[in-house]
Chain A
Amino acid sequence: SAVISQKPSRDICQRGTSLTIQCQVDSQVTMMFWYRQQPGQSLTLIATANQGSEATYESGFVIDKFPISRPNLTFSTLTVSNMSPEDSSIYLCSATTGEAFFGQGTRLTVV
């Protein structure tokens, strides 16, 4: 199993600013992922965070808007850049060790 700590758990940000979300896993994992979720709705994959190489983004998500770092096998960050109210959502990181584990999420509100 894996325990994932994600922070901040929530934030309220001004439009035009950027927020960096941190994700720490208690063990080394090869695969880490970032998802976005509207409250009560499903998860949409943003990107796969690869250690030692650039992240792989899904259709509709770009590196300039959602830069990702993966400096080692236990840590990743997701930055939401130049935020607008449409970016208000829950952002979740995930790691796979045979099964998928999730952080508790970051609830972002952009005003």
Chain B
Amino acid sequence: TQLLEQSPQFLSIQEGENLTVYCNSSSVFSSLQWYRQEPGEGPVLLVTVVTGGEVKKLKRLTFQFGDARKDSSLHITAAQPGDTGLYLCAGESNSGYALNFGKGTSLLVTP
């Protein structure tokens, strides 16, 4: 099983602060995905990173894939209350197209 370790598990910050969430593994992944999930909803894909060293930006969110394709990070600049949610990283599983998920980072941004 290709395990994904996510940190921190919980994060509570004030509006305007910056934060970084980490996703690490001892295994190499062909790609990693980041999802955001709000209560009562399923996860929604934010980004897929494929190339080692790749950096992708989505408005105030910056995603990076490690050079060795074993880790990834999500950086949020000037967090807003709307960023509140559960952030999950995921990589392909040994079952094929199914995903292995990290344990998630629960983010709370207060006004």
| A interface residues with partner B (beta carbon < 8 Å) | 4, 6, 9, 31, 33, 39-45, 48, 56, 58, 92, 94, 96, 99-105, 107
Q: What's the count of A-B pairs with C-beta under 8 Å?
A: 62
B103 engages A31 (CB within 8 Å): no
B42 engages A104 (CB within 8 Å): yes
User: Once bound together, how far apart are the Cα atoms of A4 and B42, in whole Å?
Assistant: 10
Interface range on chain B: under 10, 10 to 19, 20 to 34, or 35 or more?
A: 20 to 34
Chain A residues contacting B33 (CB-CB under 8 Å) are 99-100
Chain B residues contacting A42 (CB-CB under 8 Å) are 88, 101-104
Chain B, 39-92, CB within 8 A of any chain A CB? 39-45, 48, 86, 88, 90
Determine whether B30 belongs to the interface, using a CB cutoff of 8 Å to chain A. no
- Complex A-B: 26 CB contacts under 8 Å: A31-B98, A33-B97, A33-B98, A33-B99, A40-B104, A41-B104, A42-B103, A43-B99, A45-B98, A48-B95, A56-B95, A58-B95, A92-B42, A96-B97, A99-B45, A99-B48, A100-B45, A100-B90, A100-B99, A101-B42, A101-B45, A102-B42, A102-B43, A102-B44, A104-B41, A105-B40
Chain A residues contacting B90 (CB-CB under 8 Å) are 100
Q: How far is the CB of B24 from chain A (nearest CB, A)?
A: 14
A31 nearest in chain B by CB position: B97
- Taking a contact as CB atoms closer than 8 A, the residue among A4, A9, A43 that contacts B88 in the complex is A43
